Amino acid sequence: MLITIAVIFVLLATFLLIIINMYSDYVSRREQDARLIANKANNIIAECEELLLNQAQVAFSKTLVLVLHYRIIRALRKRAIDPKRREEVKERIANEERMINEIKQTYKDSNTFKAPENDAMALTQLRTIRHLRGILKSEMKSGVPINPTLINKEDRRLYVLVLKVNLSNLIQKVFEMKRLKQSGTCKTLIEKGLSVIKQAGVKDSWIQEKEDLLNNMLTGLNAEKKTTAKPKQDAAQGQEDDKSDLDEIFGDKKKW
């Protein structure tokens, strides 16, 4: 009897130990998941704040600014998983909501395009724009409370900005190749730029102005090429005439 009781006691103790270990693993995994979610939320918040603080590189529209603030709120709600930070998160969300209301009422869109001064700046702008387009796509899937038409319009605006950055950088290279008298490379770049504009099919005054500039430069290059080629052609013709004269003077005399 005592042996039976002892066996039952051991089995119960073993079962209880298994339950405790399972619960401990569950709590540990839950805490780890919570930390991962909180860390991801913190990274999203820091990313959005950095983008909002560095608007000098790329012109931000009201739609884009609102999307970033709504993204911060969504990340804050995920961070509220930690009971110790709920009050802080609640206050921060209220502050973000106040900022959103103010933006809706007072924010003025800027259509000013800041052309990159060099390759490094162009690369930074392109990376920022591509990042922003990715955020727009992600937030639209997440159900951000903004009219999808406005988000699609903003995505189109960012697409046009990519085109402008690339064209601006290309035109700088064209001028540099022209300065170095590398006409062949210069012409190739111009033709590439015109091809990109044609394929994009974007109606924009800035792009139209650059298209006119590239066309005028291409016309000028072709005129220079013809002007340069004519003296060479005249020189070759002169050499041929001189050769004919020499043949006439020093060539075999015809027999009468």
55-106 pLDDT tens trace: 877 889 999 999 999 999 999 998 877 777 788 889 999 999 999 999 999 9
Query: What confidence tens digit (pLDDT) does each residue in 151-184 have?
Result: 999 999 999 999 999 999 999 999 999 999 898 9
pTM of the model: 0.77
The residue type found at 239 is Q
Using CA atoms, how far residue 246 sits from 240, 250, 251, in Å, is 10, 6, 7
Assigned domain for 113 exists: yes
Query: What confidence tens digit (pLDDT) does each residue in 122-131 have?
Result: 999 999 999 9
Indicate if the pLDDT at residue 250 is higher than 50.
Answer: no
Q: Compute, in degrees rounded to 10, the torsion defined by CA atoms 45, 46, 51, 53.
A: 110
Assigned domain for 159 exists: yes
Assigned domain for 108 exists: yes
Assigned domain for 204 exists: yes
Q: How many domains does the chain have?
A: 1
Assigned domain for 2 exists: no
Assigned domain for 24 exists: yes
Contacts 24+ apart (CB under 8 A), 97-104: 97/73, 99/69, 100/66, 100/69, 100/70, 103/62, 103/65, 103/66, 103/69, 104/62, 104/66
Assigned domain for 239 exists: no
If one counts every other C-beta atom within 10 angstroms of the C-beta of residue 84, the result is 6
Provide the pLDDT for residue 86.
Answer: 82
Task: Look at 2 and 95; give whichever has higher pLDDT.
Answer: 95
- As a whole number, mean pLDDT of residues 220-241 equals 64
- As a whole number, mean pLDDT of residues 42-61 equals 89
The residue type found at 43 is N
Q: Which of 2-6, 19-23, 162-166, 198-202 has the highest mean pLDDT?
A: 162-166
Indicate if the pLDDT at residue 10 is higher than 50.
Answer: yes
Quote the domain boundaries for residue 26: 13-229
Burial class (CB in 10 A: 0-12, 13-18, 19+), 14: exposed
Assigned domain for 162 exists: yes
Task: Look at 56 and 1; give whichever has higher pLDDT.
Answer: 56
Task: Look at 245 and 4; give whichever has higher pLDDT.
Answer: 4
Per mean pLDDT, which range of 31-40, 101-110, 138-147, 194-203 is the poorest?
A: 31-40
